[in-house]
């Protein structure tokens, strides 16, 4: 479940304060966990299947669940293969015949054998008939599903999202790989499970887009004991093959993975410390340089485009009136900008503009104090999406977006362009936002079949022995939203501007969802005004910003109220931009 973490952002003290709308918060799916109990004698079929479903919802009670089955069914059942999450309603379980009980419900997701959340397609259902047979005059389940069925009200008490951490190919930043794992485990069991999953390597979501420093054959010695909040990860001698720099990276993966369950860490190899020159208990701060959220003040600086001119939004720190100031210190200001991107250090930017009738991406420093500064240009074709930067100073450009063959490239810090293979299968890209790691991509797409907009993530992969880069592993988040206009990375997941497909409120609002598509809810404190564009990034101190349908800017404070930028009457719309 997404947890709201209070950041350290300064609350703006200028501008109009607007109360947030508390009524739109999505209800929690959590409920009281049901303790699995074996079947009682003479249990009728419907009650027996309900008891079976309750027992299979708890990974610690699979042996209890098998007591509801015939011997053949119990032997054939493989609960670890997958978990199907369904919308649990009173009418989901019905009697077809005396010996047949049917489950029919809206399918929410499948959690695969690695714990990856795979959202169900909109409208997809679960349908399974439990066939029953008499065993010693007692009803027992004779037909079992593939894996486990889990009702939605048991999701939160039974499973929780965790991150496994792997490295970018440049080994400079960690990349989270979300999985769902059982909760209500002892600290030692939880730590053991996380490390076992980490040692398996990345899930298919990240594929070969990331690397793990875990050598082949690496194992833990039975389990990860936890004593007074300290987990001891005892690795076998396979790790001895690592050089000292790679040992530190492996330690970072382990420390970051266990830190999310509030454990301090000791790591040994064959009984000796993995990092002999470090403290026995490895401080988390020793690995903060690999933070995927890219800490730093520059990421909280807000920029924008108004009437084709790049702007800097000042006053969010309360030191001055909140206002948009012309960014005329940059040579980019002389151009009419269609869109604007700022690098993560907030010292350079890129715009989409027309130069002598040609559409180009122009980039330059934001403060041109050196006479040697110049504007550089990248030629483009067709419709060009707003560019995006990653932490390696790569500038990502997607053009020909209105054609059947969109083109994706990035310019590195040396000015060299690299083509990235991509195939959207006829759907049109409307927005691209690269995560700071340069591995994960967030896209808003328009379906060629339905004409509706949807949100998906993708991963930068390598192919042909590393000779070609490919944007692949597309994952449609399958959000029940209409009229989606924007999406952005956020410290709590992904922000999406859209309208609820089923709700009575048909105004476009900001929604919060996990990067894997789970736990969709209104942004806590969702505003009353309509949402057109969003500005956000992964930095924990960045305030979410909304451009409303009238072109006015609002940003959310830590207490969930909204500040509106004081502006001139009838001022032109201002499209907000954070670094990234």
CB under 8 Å to 414, separation ≥6 — which residues?
none
pLDDT (average), residues 173-198: 96
Is residue 477 very low, low, confident or very high in pLDDT (cuts 50, 70, 90)? very high
- With beta carbons less than 8 A apart as the criterion, state whether 391 and 173 touch: yes
Is residue 6 very low, low, confident or very high in pLDDT (cuts 50, 70, 90)? very low
Does the CA dihedral 74-79-82-87 come out positive or negative? Answer: positive
Q: What is the pLDDT of residues 47-97, one digit of tens each?
A: 999 999 999 998 888 999 999 999 999 999 999 999 999 999 999 999 999
Closest Cα to residue 553, out of 335, 383, 304, 353?
304
Residue 523, CB-side half-sphere exposure with 13 Å CA sphere? 35
Measured torsion, CA atoms of residues 390, 395, 396, 400, in degrees rounded to the nearest 10: 170
Residue 199, CB-side half-sphere exposure with 13 Å CA sphere? 21
Q: How far apart (Å, rounded) are the C-alpha atoms in residues 385 and 79?
A: 45
Lowest mean pLDDT among 16-20, 101-105, 181-185, 447-451: 16-20
- With beta carbons less than 8 A apart as the criterion, state whether 526 and 518 touch: no
- What tokens appear for 144 in the block? 């079992």
Q: How far apart (Å, rounded) are the C-alpha atoms in residues 133 and 143?
A: 9
DSSP code string of 42-58: T--HHHHHHHHHHHHT-
pLDDT (average), residues 300-329: 88
Is pLDDT larger for residue 164 or for residue 60? 164
pLDDT (average), residues 551-575: 89
Percentage of the chain exceeding pLDDT 70: 93
Q: How far apart (Å, rounded) are the C-alpha atoms in residues 351 and 366?
A: 11
CA distances to 191, 200, 224, 251, 282 from 248, in Å: 20, 19, 19, 5, 11
The pLDDT value given to residue 392: 95
Is residue 515 very low, low, confident or very high in pLDDT (cuts 50, 70, 90)? very high
Q: Say if residue 366's pLDDT is above 50.
A: yes
pLDDT (average), residues 217-234: 96
Coil/strand/helix, residue 499: strand
Q: How far apart (Å, rounded) are the C-alpha atoms in residues 455 and 68?
A: 41
Is residue 321 very low, low, confident or very high in pLDDT (cuts 50, 70, 90)? confident
pTM of this prediction? 0.91
Beta bridge partners of 218: none
The pLDDT value given to residue 317: 67
Q: How far apart (Å, rounded) are the C-alpha atoms in residues 17 and 13?
A: 9
Residue 151, CB-side half-sphere exposure with 13 Å CA sphere? 22
H/E/C letters for each residue in 314-343?
Answer: ECCCCCCCCEEEECCCCHHHHCCCCEEEEC
Is residue 566 very low, low, confident or very high in pLDDT (cuts 50, 70, 90)? confident
Is residue 319 very low, low, confident or very high in pLDDT (cuts 50, 70, 90)? low
- With beta carbons less than 8 A apart as the criterion, state whether 498 and 99 touch: no
CA distances to 7, 19, 168, 177, 579 from 4, in Å: 9, 19, 27, 19, 22
Q: Say if residue 7's pLDDT is above 70.
A: no
61 secondary structure, DSSP code: G
Average pLDDT along the chain = 91
pLDDT (average), residues 215-239: 96
Q: How far apart (Å, rounded) are the C-alpha atoms in residues 513 and 12?
A: 26
The pLDDT value given to residue 297: 79
Longest dimension (CA), the chain: 92
- What tokens appear for 27 in the block? 């209800």
Taking phi first (over 0 means left), then psi (-120 to 50 degrees means alpha), and beta for anything else, what does residue 473 get? left
The pLDDT value given to residue 395: 98
Domain 45-158, second-level architecture: Roll (3.10)
Q: How far apart (Å, rounded) are the C-alpha atoms in residues 218 and 233?
A: 12
pLDDT (average), residues 548-576: 90
Distance of CA 376 to the CA centre of its chain: 33
Is residue 372 very low, low, confident or very high in pLDDT (cuts 50, 70, 90)? confident
| CATH code of domain 16-25+295-577 | 2.120.10.30
Beta bridge partners of 496: 487, 511
Is residue 383 very low, low, confident or very high in pLDDT (cuts 50, 70, 90)? very high
Q: Say if residue 148's pLDDT is above 80.
A: yes
Structural domain spans, the chain: 16-25+295-577, 45-158, 174-290
Lowest mean pLDDT among 9-18, 217-226, 370-379: 9-18
Beta bridge partners of 130: 101
Lowest mean pLDDT among 294-303, 315-324, 501-510: 315-324
């Amino acid at each position: 479940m997404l947890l709201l973490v209070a950041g350290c952002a300064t609350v703006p003290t200028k501008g109009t304060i607007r109360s947030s709308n508390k009524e739109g918060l999505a209800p929690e799916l959590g409920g009281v966990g049901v303790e699995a109990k074996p079947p009682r004698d003479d249990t009728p079929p419907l009650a027996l299947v309900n008891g079976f479903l309750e027992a299979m919802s708890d990974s610690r009670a699979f042996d209890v669940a098998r007591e509801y089955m015939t011997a053949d069914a119990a032997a054939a059942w493989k609960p670890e293969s997958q978990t199907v999450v369904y919308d649990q309603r009173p009418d989901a379980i019905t009697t077809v015949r005396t010996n047949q009980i049917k489950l029919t419900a809206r399918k929410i997701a499948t959690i695969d054998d690695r714990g990856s959340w795979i959202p169900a397609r909109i409208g997809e259902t679960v349908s399974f008939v439990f066939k029953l047979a008499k065993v010693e005059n007692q009803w027992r389940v004779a037909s079992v599903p593939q894996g486990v069925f889990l009702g939605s009200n048991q999701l939160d008490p039974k499973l929780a999202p965790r991150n496994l951490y792997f490295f970018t190919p440049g080994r400079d930043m960690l990349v989270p790989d979300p999985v769902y794992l059982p909760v209500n485990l002892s600290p030692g069991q939880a730590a053991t499970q996380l490390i076992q999953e980490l040692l398996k390597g990345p899930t298919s979501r990240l594929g070969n887009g990331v690397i793990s420093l875990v050598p082949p054959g690496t194992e833990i010695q039975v389990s990860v004991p936890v004593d007074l909040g300290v987990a001891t990860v005892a690795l076998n001698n396979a790790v001895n093959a690592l050089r000292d720099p790679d040992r530190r990276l492996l330690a970072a993966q382990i420390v970051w993975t266990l830190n999310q369950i509030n454990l301090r860490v000791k790591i040994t190899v064959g009984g000796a410390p993995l990092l002999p020159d470090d403290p026995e208990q490895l401080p988390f701060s020793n690995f903060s340089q690999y933070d995927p959220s890219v800490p730093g003040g520059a990421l909280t600086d807000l920029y924008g485009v108004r009437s084709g001119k790049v702007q800097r939004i000042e006053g969010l720190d309360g030191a001055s009136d909140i206002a948009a100031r012309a960014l005329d210190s940059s040579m980019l200001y002389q151009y009419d900008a269609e869109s604007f991107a700022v690098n993560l250090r907030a010292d350079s930017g890129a715009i989409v503009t027309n130069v002598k009738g040609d559409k180009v991406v122009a980039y330059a420093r934001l403060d041109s104090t050196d006479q040697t500064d110049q504007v550089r240009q990248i030629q483009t074709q067709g419709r060009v999406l707003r560019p995006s930067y990653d932490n390696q100073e790569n500038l990502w450009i997607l053009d020909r977006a209105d054609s059947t063959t969109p083109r994706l490239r990035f310019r590195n810090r040396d000015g060299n362009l690299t083509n990235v293979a991509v195939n959207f299968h006829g759907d049109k890209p409307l927005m691209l936002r690269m995560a700071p790691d340069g591995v994960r991509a967030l896209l808003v797409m328009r379906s060629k079949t339905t004409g509706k907009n949807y949100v998906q993530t993708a991963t930068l992969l390598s192919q042909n022995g590393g000779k070609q880069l490919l944007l692949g592993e597309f994952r449609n988040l399958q959000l029940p939203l209409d009229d989606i206009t924007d999406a952005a990375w956020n410290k709590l997941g992904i922000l999406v501007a859209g309208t609820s497909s089923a709700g009575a409120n048909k105004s476009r609002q900001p929604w919060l969802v996990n990067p894997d598509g789970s736990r969709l809810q209104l942004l806590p404190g969702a505003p009353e005004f309509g949402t057109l564009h969003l500005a956000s990034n992964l930095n924990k101190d960045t305030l979410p910003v909304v451009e409303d349908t009238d072109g006015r800017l609002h940003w959310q404070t830590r207490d969930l109220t909204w500040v509106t930028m004081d502006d001139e009457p009838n001022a032109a719309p201002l499209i907000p931009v954070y670094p990234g």
